[in-house]
Amino acid sequence: MGAVLLAFVLVFLAFLPFHLTGSPEGGSVSFKKLDPESFSPTAGTEGGTLYFILNGDPKTLNPALAQETTSTAVIGDLFSGLTRLNLKTMEVKPDLALRWEVSEDGRVWTFYLRRDVRWSDGTPFTADDVVFTFNEIYYNDSIPTPTRDILTVKGKKIKVEKIDRYTVRFTLPEPFAPFLNALSAEILPKHKLEKFVREGTFNTAWNVNTDPSEIVGTGPWVIKEYVKGQRVVYLRNPYYYRKDEEGRRLPYLKRKVGVIVSDPDTALLKFSNGEVDYLGLRPQDLQHIAKLEGKEVEVYDLGPTPSTTFLVFNQNPNAKIPPYKLRWFQNRIFRIAISHAVDREGICYLVYNGLAEPLYTPITPANRPYYVEGYYPKFEYNLEKARKLLESIGFRDRDGDGILEDPEGHDLKFTLITNAGNKERETIGNILKEDLKKIGVEVHFQPIDFNNLVSRLTAPPYEWEAVIIGLTGSLDPHFGRNVWHSSGLLHMWHPRQESPSTPWEAEVDRLIDRGAVELDFKKRVELYRKAFRIITEQQPMIFIATPKSMLAVYRKFGNLFPTVWGWYEEEMLFVK
């Protein structure tokens, strides 16, 4: 489970945080916590089916193009990278690579590949696939892949070359601190995708209408069936290379079924009826879940998440929005004023039932050591201060209708969107609408389809004014480069800038680029702290809250070890 994406949540995958240990209060629910030190998977039994919830239909089945969790959740287990992250130890370990060597200067890395790996159609995996994936896909400027952002060093590509059938050499332009983590990016099959690259049709390859048998990977699962709006059925990859200590091929489970349910209330009902085996919980679900504990349900406290929920205004000069609104959104004082109008503590209590923490920064308390209490400025909830700040930049209620106008006479009103069906974000939107109305700001709040929302945010004409959305977080901030760097595909307030449009963005770029090559960990931490402080001071994204993570699971599985990043050694999960 890896790579960088919007919890748009566009996921920025393979991020492993240090977690705080506080448990949420859940009334009569008994929370279970897992101790990594005492957990070791054991030999299990083969067979059985796992049923789980998918929050929506994928936009693509192509991992190089996936930018949203609805897609990555469907295809993530179909592929492997050269490395993977041990969710127990938080260390990088080999995956498709067997081992590696690095030069003294940290620039030349030689990877020796496993010789026992086959693609899910039986074709042998070789160095040609690795070189093809990097040189022809990730470093192909005509392919809009978010992965490219995390595989460049100060904007420079890494040289990737084949040494022999099972050896690949990476030559970096300079030392690159998160390199091994970055190599968890999916390796793709040359024999299946080369023709699309050559024909210039890769950007439509492996779309949602593709026959699932054509989607070939090296991961533990293959897609057997995809029925839009209903389900995704997975079968074990018969060629998956990993085996248990007794030599039995993993995964133990024979089948997985992802039930597509976009409405969380419907998902809760399906879990309650035993139609799915586990469910990530919202605070409002706990009272209902308490009634199920007698049905062999356990609830896990996974600790605070690195995920963030925020409000962002469109500052893109190429966007299809009125020029006068663009001027508002580009004004730091305007954004600070709106930030002061956000009742973060009230939202944590009303929306999350107290199972969330107020947030003012791009990172959460889970992101130690990058998060330091007191280092980042906070913008307290103060409607009077918010209105005075707006008045300080020329907004007045000149006609007495209760709505402020800018110096040119335009009413201070904007459209705020979020993804329909996400009750938390819909409630936050309504709270913001009411509070902003109190200071003379009119908000037209409009929940819309998730895929439509993602398209507006990430592609021309960028037709949106403000959005409530979220991001996953990361242990290594470099994997969020495509959000924080001005050239990033997910630099949401103004993506894909040819050069930084503001001095503060230029300074953030400089710090992010330095952090990528600084091998001294303490110095890296300081560089990223400075970058995040600048972002906090500028408030291009008005951060609101970070939720705690809870999971309900029926007591039917062995080797169960959930984390906020996925299930540790998920291939060894089995039905008792």
- pLDDT recorded at residue 21: 18
Rounded to 10°, the helix 332-340/383-392 angle is: 160
DSSP 249-293: BSPS-SEEEEEE---HHHHHHHHHTTSSSEEEPPGGGHHHHHTTG
Per-residue pLDDT tens digits of the chain, which is 576 residues long: 332 223 223 233 332 221 111 223 334 677 787 777 778 899 999 999 999 999 999 999 999 999 888 999 999 999 999 999 887 776 789 999 999 999 999 899 999 999 999 999 999 999 999 999 999 999 999 999 988 988 888 788 999 999 999 999 999 999 988 899 899 999 999 999 999 999 999 999 999 999 999 999 999 999 999 999 999 999 999 999 999 999 999 999 999 999 999 999 999 999 999 999 999 998 788 888 888 866 789 999 887 788 899 999 999 999 999 999 999 999 999 999 999 999 999 999 999 888 888 999 999 887 767 888 899 999 999 999 999 999 999 999 999 999 999 999 999 999 999 999 899 999 999 999 999 999 999 999 999 998 899 899 989 999 999 999 998 777 788 888 889 999 998 899 999 999 999 999 999 999 999 998 887 778 988 999 999 999 999 999 999 999 888 899 999 999 999 987 788 899 999 999
- pLDDT recorded at residue 294: 63
- pLDDT recorded at residue 107: 94
Distances in Å between the Cα of 334 and the Cα atoms of 48, 313, 325, 538, 539 are 56, 10, 11, 10, 10
Residue type (1 letter), 562: P
d(CA 154, CA 140): 17
- pLDDT recorded at residue 489: 87
Residue type (1 letter), 241: Y
Domains within the chain, CATH numbers bracketed: 308-547 (3.10.105.10)
- pLDDT recorded at residue 137: 98
Residue bearing tokens 């960028």: 462
d(CA 72, CA 14): 12
- pLDDT recorded at residue 487: 94
